[in-house]
Amino acid sequence: MIIPKQVCRALALGLLSGLLVVLISQCSDTVAPAPPDEISIQSGNLQYSLRGTTLSDPLVVRVRTADGAVPEEAHVVFSVIEGGGTVANSSVRVDESGVASTAYTLGPEAGHEVIQAAIKENTSKSVVFEATASNFFCPEQEDTYRVDYETTHHLFLATRKSSLYTTPNGAGVVEVDVYPPYSTSGFAEIAGSLVFDTNIFDAAFSARGDFYVARRSFRSEILKIDTFGNVSFFAHLDEDLPPTDLYAEITTNPSGLLVGCDAKGPFVVGCPDTLTRFDEATYPGADINSDAVAVDPRRQTEDPLGEDIYFIDKTASSLMRLAMDSLAVELPELETVAALTADQAEGARGMVCEARDGNVYILVDSDETKEIVQVTPAGAVSVLYDFFDRGAGDAAGVQRDLAYDEGFRRLYTLDTLNNNVLIYDIASDVLVEMFNDPLAQSTLSTSGGSGERVGLVVLK
């Protein structure tokens, strides 16, 4: 029979003198506590951040004995296996819950990093943490904070030359309710008078609910309007292009990066004023259609950091795909997806990519070609809708920009000549005009002439 240690101590102190003395012979301080035998990760795995910075969450492990109890004494040794980072504490004693943790600072180079946590008293038992050091990462990419505008699936329109009735100078953002009966209203969260004093190129929502606007003021730039309506500078666009080519189309990817395309090719912005290009897809002149860029969200299900950026090379009349990870850890790969007609490449006025099948949809508007084109991931090109079916001349309209609603499988475009929102239902292959009432339609009327640039985006 083995007497519990607590009883043995009481006997030694004479506190339990009434017990049989024979029990003392059964007491032994040599009975060793159960050793630590199991270690598991509790939190902190698979984080990513800017290279050289400390991860937002510590690396946390839990240690147990073979029977699942908290060991009386145990230490955890944290060591860097790959990546060049540093741990705040290399040896940590577990607390009363069997938990040990340390902070980790990523190495100076972008890439994959591995940190091992091993039980010091039983080094055969260990776990590994993985982390990613990126070339850019900022709060804008953190999508755990989201804003509920209570307007899911609504369409938002930003432009310089429309009589949008939310600001004195007739410029701002219109929110379009896509549920019948259709209606429009001013987007009060965004102070239009602070943003829309000059040309607007495009607009995009981030996963957080921030609103980005690409515009031309004293120079071409991207502004960020947060969910409280605060306007701040986000990035400058290149100024070494002719003034006629200083435009940019923008979008965002599921991991939070702002993605754009101008006449020199696609770019990403991860942090304020850190516009990044890639040698594989940077062009010397105005060779790229600056009205068309899209991100394929499907790779996010395979690789949380993965994305494909689509853009159009006008010189080669080709739809291009830049495969990269959203942290630019690996070098991107550039490939030609499909051959387009010269009119399609030159006249593209908007482009989106659906998550369902990975199909790319391109809005084309030129004197000779007015259509919505579908390109499959395999490169098959087909025309979904020909706007000349609506009639010649003014009836065909002037279509600008393209937005996609994944939930409804709808494509939206703005007919700036006839002042109407057009809805194309992909499943039923039907295009309808949103507003039949001239009063409602007038909220989209243009004060500076038809054919202006606009930005359309659906709030997911």
pLDDT computed for residue 244 by the predictor:
67
Domain 36-134 top-level CATH class: mainly beta
Measure CA of the first residue to CA of the last residue in the chain; give whole Å: 68
Handedness of CA 247, 172, 396, 382 (dihedral sign): positive
Q: Provide the 3-class DSSP secondary structure of residue 390.
A: helix
- Which residues are within 8 A (CB) of 244 and not within 5 positions of it... i.e. 6 or more apart? none
As given in the structure block, the two tokens for residue 182 are: 């259709």
In three-state secondary structure terms, 226 is coil
In the prediction, which pLDDT does 29 show? 55
Torsions phi, psi of 55, nearest 5? -60, 145
Contact between residue 268 and residue 294 where contact means Cβ atoms under 8 Å apart: no
Q: What is residue 312's predicted lDDT score, i.e. its pLDDT? A: 97
Return d(Cα 395, Cα 399) in angstroms, integer: 11
Q: How far apart are CA 161 and CA 449, in angstroms?
A: 7
pLDDT at position 12, please? 47
411 close to 402: Cβ distance less than 8 angstroms: yes
Nearest to 237 by CA among 204, 266, 208: 266
CATH number for the segment(s) 139-458: 2.120.10.30
DSSP 67: T
For the residues of 97-148, what is the DSSP string, one character each?
A: TSEEEE-EE--SSSEEEEEEEEETTEEEEEEEEEEEEES---GGG-TTS---
pLDDT along the chain (460 residues), means of 10: 50 48 51 88 89 91 95 96 95 96 93 94 95 72 47 76 48 76 68 59 81 82 77 81 78 82 89 81 86 84 69 96 72 89 96 92 94 96 94 84 92 86 94 77 52 73
Identify the pLDDT of residue 303: 57
pLDDT on residue 305: 56
Q: Are 312 and 318 in contact (CB under 8 A)?
A: yes
Boundaries of every domain in the chain:
1-31, 36-134, 139-458
pLDDT at 451: 45
The CA distances from residue 110 to 70, 102, 307, 378, in Å, are: 38, 21, 18, 32
Q: What tokens appear for 2 in the block? A: 């083995």
Which tokens hold the place of 250?
């923008």
Q: Determine the pLDDT at residue 333.
A: 85
Q: What confidence score (pLDDT) does residue 300 get?
A: 54
pLDDT, residue 168, reads 46
